[in-house]
Structure 1
């Protein structure tokens, strides 16, 4: 129970820190590292999240998660531990960032209202995508609730409904939108947006590799019909993987008399 409370408290703090810090374009934080070491510290903070977050999705990463939990509970608490680690990483990134002090653009008046609406919509979209993926898994409650009830850990089924009917990675797409719809732009925010966008494009490949191992043909069939990232319309594929071309109809040629 305490493990679950710690998980959800850290998750709430991490989300709040991210929303607030990006709203001000990473211009307000507690980091006070003097230049030029502030650049080194900021780069380290920026890189640690996508690197560690992706590594924990690999086989070795999952084994490491098992060793971080109390003895004998590592396998069951792995989803909870994963959220705890990710939350600590985000808190470190957004709370310890050293701002450059440069503000390129800040929305005011009607522009501020529009940007706040876009920013809020991106976060709502992220929440919806997490709900579609299984909120218990995304928030870490899946692990500690199973342990508390003495049940075997059962992961949710492969998500294919809701936003997952439009794109295989709605969480990463929505996450990317949050970093580009902020009402304040600084060099700090641009660096964050570029790195996180690259991570959101490449990082899901690790998750998809795991899904392919777990769900096999079911995942392959889903991946053939739903685009990886942007929900562009796709032509259906046959079982062989070739694109189905439309059946050619007869062309009727009429002769126009003069």
Structure 2
């Protein structure tokens, strides 16, 4: 229709970027808060109300859905699927934001909808509570540090929507080798595993969670390293030979002194 007002170029793109940015950061913050609180109480306080023994199956489903879908979305097929989730031409640009939204929703479901068993084996008190709370807080600080070392914009989902806002092609950070990545190749997974085992309340629920997700933290990075080897080639292989996988080499300094 002649004379009809058309939106300025880029307005829809900017609106989509802002909407996705607000969505990912709100859901991400809610997921992190749910994780911190649920594990602090040993998974003994949550919103799940599935009657037992059916709750065991519901909890198992919640526990398995995260590592399975999380890893599946990182495959080539999963990446293509995520790029099509947002209609229009910007799905590819927003893929990392979409991935962070899905991962955050998965974690939020796991920790908010878990049905507690009602059994508490051990609960720290007095000086033990202070010590365990300090260790738990330190584990979370290490996780934050590792995430920043890897590229906080990618880990938080900001990379996609900020690229769209600036109307530029997403450019991933270089292969991380600084900070905690000098000590181990997978500091994010190591730090996350530490949060699982430093809680001040222990229940059957927390033990099941810690065992399952610790196994995931040891196995899942193998797939990540395959992608890094394809992307960075000899550079990653050299880094792989120099830096241990998950456990720092305590005798590294002595070996250098001997040489």
The answer to whether the superposition gives a TM-score over 0.5 is yes
**Whole-Å Cα distance in 1 between the matches of residues 201 and 250 of structure 2?**
33
**What does residue 41 of structure 1 align with?**
58
Q: Secondary structure at the match of 1:26?
A: coil
Deviation at 1:224, TM superposition (A): 0.8
* Aligned twin of 1:207: 224
CA distance in 1 between counterparts of 2:41 and 2:85 reads: 34
Q: How does 1:188-203 map to 2 (within 5 A)?
A: 188-203=205-220
How far apart are residue 235 of structure 1 and its match? 7.0
Provide the aligned C-alpha RMSD in A: 1.7
Contact 1:7 1:80 in 2 (8 A): yes
- In the TM superposition, residue 234 of structure 1 has moved relative to its aligned partner by 7.1
Match of 2:123 among 106, 118, 129: 106
Q: Which runs of 5+ in 1 are unaligned?
A: 237-245, 248-258
Comparing 124-133 and 64-73, the one that deviates more: 64-73
Shift of 1:75: 1.3
Aligned pairs for 1:43-58 (under 5 A) are: 43-58=60-75
Deviation at 1:37, TM superposition (A): 0.8
Change in Cα spacing, 1:39 to 1:155, as seen in structure 2 (3 Å) is same
Q: Secondary structure at the match of 1:116?
A: helix
Query: After superposition, where does 1:1-258 map in structure 2 within 5 Å?
Result: 1-233=18-250
Post-superposition Cα deviations, 1:14-55, rounded to whole Å, max 9, x if no partner, equal 000000000000000010001111000000000000111111
Q: Could you state the TM-score of these two structures normalised by the residue count of structure 1?
A: 0.90
Give the aligned length. 240
Report deviation, 1:58: 1.1
